[in-house]
Every structure is written in C-alpha cells, then in structure tokens.
Copies of this chain bind each other. A is one copy, B any other.
C-alpha cells in the first residue's frame, strides 16, 4: 500500500488530557514513517477538514509535540459541529472525502465523544462506497464518561480528581467556619445526563462526616422535600452540609433544576445554574447561610491537578489508534479495558464503532446509595483508580508552561469554498 497521510481532529468539549491523546497520535505516527506520511490536524476540529484548513503537525518540533502531553484544552482547536445524517447532508461527507483525497489522507483519527464516534463510523463506511477507502479510528474523549464499551473515558479521571480535591478542600473551609458562618456549600459540576462527575466528588469523603454529605445525580429524580430534610439533618449532625450537584439534576418529570432554555450546536440543552437554584431553596426554606461555586470550564481545563492515570490512558488511546490503523483496522475505537484482578490494571482493546456511536452510558443504579444521595462501595472501587497519581506540568515563574503551537496551515489543493 502506498504511504498515506493521516488526519487527526479534536471534537466537542475539550479536556485536560485530550492533547495527551494528540501527543500519542503524532509521536506514534512519527515512529511509523514507513506507512504514515504527515499528520494533519483539523484547525478547529472537523470544520478544519471541511474548510480544508489542515494544520501541518510536521512543522512542530518534537519538544512542542511532547509538551502537548501536559497541555490542557484542544491545542489544534475543537468544535461542536455534528455532521448531519447521510440522508440530510451527504455533501458534507463527500466534501470530507474529497479533502482527504486531495491531501492523500488515508487515516482518520477522530478524538471525541459519542457524536464523533458516529461521524467516524460514517466516514469509514462512505469512503468504501466512494471508492477512496479511509481507515477511520475513534479515540475516546469525554469528561462526562458516558461512552460505552470502554471502561472509562480519557478526560474523566482528571475532572474526577479536580472535583474530589475541590470539594474536599472547600468542605474543610466550610467546616472550619460553620459555627458562626456558612452552613451549606454547593458545588455544581458538569456531566450532562450522567452522574459520573458528581459521583467522583464522593471520593473526597473518607471518614464519617466528611464532605460531601449530599450528591445530586441526574439519574435520581430530585425531591425537594427530601433534599431539604437531608440538608437540615447534616447541618444538625455535622455543623454544615457540603453538596455536589450535577448540572443535569432533574425532577421526576425530566425537567432540569436549572434549564437555561438554550441548546448547543449538537441540539443538547445548555445546562447551568443548579447551584444557585438549590441555594435559593436552602435560604427560603431553611434560612441557612450558604455559599456556592460553579467550576464550569475550570474543572475540565484543570491540567494542574490532572490524574496521572488519566494522562497515561489518554496518551495510550492515541498511540493505540495509530497502531490499529497501521495494522489495517477501520471503524473501531481504541478502548480502555480494566483488568480482572483485585489490583487495578488496564490495557487497550478495540470496540466496533457500530456499538459505540450515539449510545449514552449512564451510571449503574448500584453505584448510587439507596437513599440516592451518595456513592456505594462499588462506585468507589470503580472510581478510585481513575484519579490515581499526580502528573504535574512543568512550571516557570510560578505558572505552568503549556505548549504553544505554530499551527501552520498546509497549502490548499482544492479551489472550492465549502460553507460550514
């Protein structure tokens, strides 16, 4: 087979470790110069391919590429842009393949969540029928940890660590002042419809009475009376109540506690504002002094407190994706497989994209305590290994030193504009 170039793109919300996957892809491709030529990266994700804005990663030095391993966010740019179905917009897929063909791209590495797994699969299928076969490999990434067929998703472990450390620290803060000041503290975290991130907050509680005392999961219907009763009990018992609330917390009828009323480009509802909503309930019904925090992007960008396990796995799925491509695979995802032993171990496996695309993996009910406010030992066993280890970035003058890329766009070969 003639040597082909590769295309790599970052999709959807970025994470503290998605660049570690990029690092894994590029470094591994550079080790396979016999089968892979250049690695182009999509400028702002898949949009970059549609616009024929391909960043030539060969222009970046080995040390810059190595620094991606400890750099948060999407270094090449990402986007929330879901390709429509083949029926709705076949032209988009054809454009993609046209761009790939023009740049002799035979490998497509798509680094994202469920939506990008779907795109990846379609590109793989359509390229066959169009007579320009492209090996499409999906590299998992999502802080929400909601992809199926992988034990966990790169990006999640670091958010999990951030949330667990943050609620532990803030909990100590509140505990030390609750006698005369704030009695209720609420930390709102990400996760959409899956409570994985909120659940990770539970790792902070190591002894009876430790924060968090209440976790609100999207999987458990919110019951205001029950919630307020528990808050009151905690304040009476421990002097304060620390709460981790998922942005996706919802009532029994499926309506969100805080629905901003807008949707993103994928058609997902934009969530946010659970913490102030809960705080208002606490003030109105219990009259307790409260504080709340909304970490928002801080949590998924917090490379400074990344999980070493997460960083290693993010790199490993990028590396494995390239190795799978070189081995002739297509339409698969590089998945993380947990070892069976009592001691945590993991390896990389592969999962067929047909079974990955558009499936949302929620928390098993037995990960949540019967009362719906905490995590079980089973959840703890699953979550704890994912936040293991610290992987600090280098610092200079007190600040982390993150990669700065040149991002040189390869000369265009098509003289057609494509509007996205």
Please name all residues of chain B whose beta carbon is closer than 8 Å to the beta carbon of A45 when the two chains form the complex.
Answer: 180
Segment 1-56 of A: residues with Cβ below 8 Å from B: 10, 13-14, 16, 44-45, 47
CB distance from A54 to the nearest CB of B (A): 15
Segment 262-309 of A: residues with Cβ below 8 Å from B: 264-265, 272, 276, 291-298, 300-305, 307, 309
Partner of A293, one of B71, B74, B296, B392: B296
Contact B291 A297, beta carbon cutoff 8 Å: yes
Tell me, in angstroms, the Cα distance from A384 to B398 when the chains sit together.
Answer: 8
Contact A387 B398, beta carbon cutoff 8 Å: yes
Partner of A179, one of B47, B174, B176, B203: B47
Chain A 155-169 against B: per-residue CB contact (8 Å), 1 yes, 0 no?
Answer: 000000100111011
Partner of A44, one of B180, B265, B291, B301: B180
Segment 173-228 of A: residues with Cβ below 8 Å from B: 173-177, 179-181, 185, 187, 203-204, 206-207
Which of A76-84, A108-116, A364-372 is near enough to bind chain B?
Answer: A76-84
Contact B298 A179, beta carbon cutoff 8 Å: no
CB distance from A342 to the nearest CB of B (A): 15
Residue of B nearest to A43 (CB): B179
Contact B173 A72, beta carbon cutoff 8 Å: yes
| Interface status of A125 (Cβ within 8 A of chain B) | no
| Contact A399 to B177, CB < 8 A, known contacts A172-B301, A294-B293, A296-B293 | no
| Interface status of A73 (Cβ within 8 A of chain B) | yes
Tell me, in angstroms, the Cα distance from A42 to B376 when the chains sit together.
Answer: 37
Number of interface residues of A (CB under 8 A): 73
Chain A 126-154 against B: per-residue CB contact (8 Å), 1 yes, 0 no?
Answer: 00000000000000000000000000000
Partner of A297, one of B81, B164, B293, B392: B293
Contact A176 B264, beta carbon cutoff 8 Å: no
CB distance from A206 to the nearest CB of B (A): 7
Segment 367-420 of A: residues with Cβ below 8 Å from B: 384, 387-390, 392, 395, 397-400, 402, 404
Contact B47 A206, beta carbon cutoff 8 Å: no
Partner of A14, one of B13, B173, B204, B276: B173
Contact B168 A399, beta carbon cutoff 8 Å: yes
CB distance from A313 to the nearest CB of B (A): 14
Tell me, in angstroms, the Cα distance from A389 to B73 when the chains sit together.
Answer: 24
List the 8 closest pairs (A to B, CB-CB), nearest first. Answer: A74-B176, A73-B172, A387-B398, A293-B296, A169-B301, A79-B180, A173-B301, A44-B179
Which residues of A are at the interface with B, using a C-beta cutoff of 8 A? 10, 13-14, 16, 44-45, 47, 71-81, 161, 164-166, 168-170, 172-177, 179-181, 185, 187, 203-204, 206-207, 264-265, 272, 276, 291-298, 300-305, 307, 309, 384, 387-390, 392, 395, 397-400, 402, 404
A sample of 17 more A-B contacts (CB under 8 A), given A79-B181, A207-B404, is A16-B169, A72-B172, A72-B173, A73-B172, A75-B176, A166-B298, A166-B301, A166-B302, A168-B402, A169-B302, A169-B304, A187-B298, A276-B276, A291-B296, A292-B294, A304-B305, A384-B398
